[in-house]
Amino acid sequence: MRPRSSSAKSSKASDDGTAEPSATVVGNASGRKKRRSKKMRATEVLIRLKTEYPDATCSLDYETPMQLLVATILSAQCTDERVNKVTPALFAKYPTAEAMASGELSDIEELVRSTGFYRNKSKNILGSCRMIMEDFGGEVPRTMPELLTLPGVARKTANVVLAHAFGINAGVTVDTLVKRLTNRLGLTKHQDPKRIERDLMQLLPQPDWENWSIRLIYHGRAVCSA
C-alpha cells in the first residue's frame, strides 16, 4: 500500500516549516466572519428602526387573541387598512370563537368579501374557531405547534398572534416587506419565508424578533413604492 500523501491532511507545511491552514479551516473562518458582519449590520438597522419608529405596533384592530387571529388570516394578500374596515361588522356579529364557530359560512363570506380570497379565508376562519372550541377549550392556543394545526395558519400568522396577543417571541414574522427589505439589506439571500426567518433568528436576539418585523414593516410602508 502506498503511503498517504501529506497533501491529503487537513494542513500542510509551508516553506518555513510552519503549518498552513487548510481550505476547510479558512472557509469556516470566512463563514464566521460573514455571520458576524451580518449580525452587526442587523443590530445597526434595528437600532435605527427603534429610533425612527418608537411606537410601532401591530396595525390590525382587535380586542382578543381570537380577533387578532381572524384579522391576521384576513390580512393575507390584503392591506391592514382594508381588514380594519371589515372586522368591526364581523366582530360585532361574531365576537368570540364560540360565536364564530356557530356562524354560517355564507354569512362570513359576505362580511369579508372585500378582503379578497374570501371563500378560503372564511373557510379557514370558521374551521379555526371550531377547532379552538373542540380541541383547545375555547382559547386560542399559545404555542407554535398548536397554532399551526389550525386551518389557514402558517408561521407568519402564528408569529403575529403569539407576539401581539401573548407577548411570546417564537419566531420572526416574514411578510412581503420583510422579505424584500431583508434581501436588500444583504441579511439573507433566500426568497422562501421559512429560510429567511431562520436566517433572521440567527442574527437577532430573541426579545427583538417581533420588534424587527413590525418596525421593518413600518419602514417598508414608508419607503417602498411597490
Element (H, E) at 12: strand 12-13
Catalytic residue chosen out of the listed positions 80, 107, 175, 208:
175
Annotated catalytic residue 175: yes
Annotated catalytic residue 156: yes
Of 122, 204, 112, 209, the residue nearest 158 (C-alpha): 209
CB of 216 within 8 A of CB of 181? yes
CB of 35 within 8 A of CB of 202? yes
What residue type is 206 in one-letter code? Answer: Q
Catalytic residue chosen out of the listed positions 156, 179, 189, 199:
156
C-alpha cell at 6: 501529506
CB of 117 within 8 A of CB of 77? yes
Q: Which residues are catalytic?
A: 156, 175
